[in-house]
Amino acid sequence: MTRYLTLPASADSSSRFLDALARALEESGRRAIWVQRKYVVLFREGDTLNRVRPFPWGSESPDAPQLTRIAINQSDIEISRRARILLGFAPESRPGHDERFDLEFTVLTEELEAIARWLPSWIAGRVDPEVPLPAPPVPCDPWEFDWRSTNYVWSTAAWNAQTAWEERVKAARLQRTPGKQAHAIARPAVSPAAKTAATSPAAHATSATPASGGVTGPARPGTEADHV
C-alpha cells in the first residue's frame, strides 16, 4: 500500500497529481507507490514496472502558460531494492517496463488532477483492447488520436495557450525590430498528430514544440539514472 500524506493546501500541482494518481491506480487493483522525493509514481502491470513523472514544460517567462508534461516510461530511473519489494518483485530482479504505456501528454497544470483519475482507465484499455477506453477528461481536439496506440498528445487548451503565447512573443519581437517585418515568413503550427507521424517518441521528448519559432522543450527527465 502507498503511504499517503495529508497534503497541505499549499502543495504544488505535481504533488497533488501524483497523490491522486497513486490512489487511483490502487483503487483499480494495481500496485503503486509514490516516491515523493523523486516526484515519480511507480506501478506494476503484470511482470513490468512502470513510472509516471510530471515535469514543467515550456518557458519560465511569467506571462507564459503554465504547462506540465506527463511522461510515462520516459525516464531512465534506477529502481531501488525496497521499491521492487513493495511492488511485489523479487529483491534482485530487474523488471522492464511495458512499452504499451509509453506516453508524453502535455496539459495545462490545472488539468492534472482530472488526468490522474483517468489514467488507470487508459492503462486498462491499453492492456485489453476489449475493455472500453473512455475519452480523456479534457478535450484534445481538433486532432484525432487513437488512444490505444498514440504516444504523444497535447490537450487542446495547452496547445492553444502555448501557440497564442508564441504568437504574442513573435509579434513583440517584430515590433522591436521593424526592419525584419518585411522578411518575416509565417509558418503554420504542426499538430501533435502530424508530429507523431513525422518524428520518433525520443525526438518529441527533447525538441517538440507546439508551434514553430517557440520554446524548445527541456531534455528528457531522469537521464542521469536517478536512484529511487
Q: How many CB atoms lie within 10 A of CB 166?
A: 22
Structural domains in the chain (count): 1
Structure letter (DSSP) for residue 218: P
| Residue 214 domain flag | no
Q: How many helices and strands, by DSSP H and E, does the chain display? A: 6, 6
Distance separating the N- and C-terminal Cα atoms of the chain: 17
Under 8 Å CB-to-CB from 124, ≥6 apart: which residues? 28, 131, 133
Separation between Cα atoms, residue 180 and residue 92, nearest integer Å: 61
Domain that holds residue 22: 13-207
pLDDT the model gives residue 196: 52
Under 8 Å CB-to-CB from 68, ≥6 apart: which residues? 13, 14, 17, 54, 55, 56, 57, 106, 107, 108, 109, 112
| Residue 37 domain flag | yes
Q: What is the pLDDT averaged over residues 119-144?
A: 87
Q: What percent of the chain has pLDDT over 70?
A: 71
Separation between Cα atoms, residue 119 and residue 13, nearest integer Å: 16
The pLDDT of residue 100 is above 70? yes
Q: What is the pTM of this model?
A: 0.75
pLDDT the model gives residue 37: 78
Closest by Cα among 196, 194, 195, 188 to 212: 188
| Residue 135 domain flag | yes
| Residue 227 domain flag | no
pLDDT the model gives residue 39: 86
| Residue 6 domain flag | no
| Residue 158 domain flag | yes
| Residue 3 domain flag | no
HSE-up (13 A, CA, CB side) for residue 183:
4
| Residue 170 domain flag | yes
Alpha helical stretches, state H, 99-210:
112-127, 156-176, 192-198, 201-207
Structure confidence by residue, pLDDT tens digits, 183-223: 554 444 566 555 555 544 344 443 344 443 334 343 333 33
Position with higher pLDDT, 176 vs 68:
68
How far are the Cα atoms of 69, 74, 97 from residue 206, in angstroms, in the given order?
A: 12, 11, 21
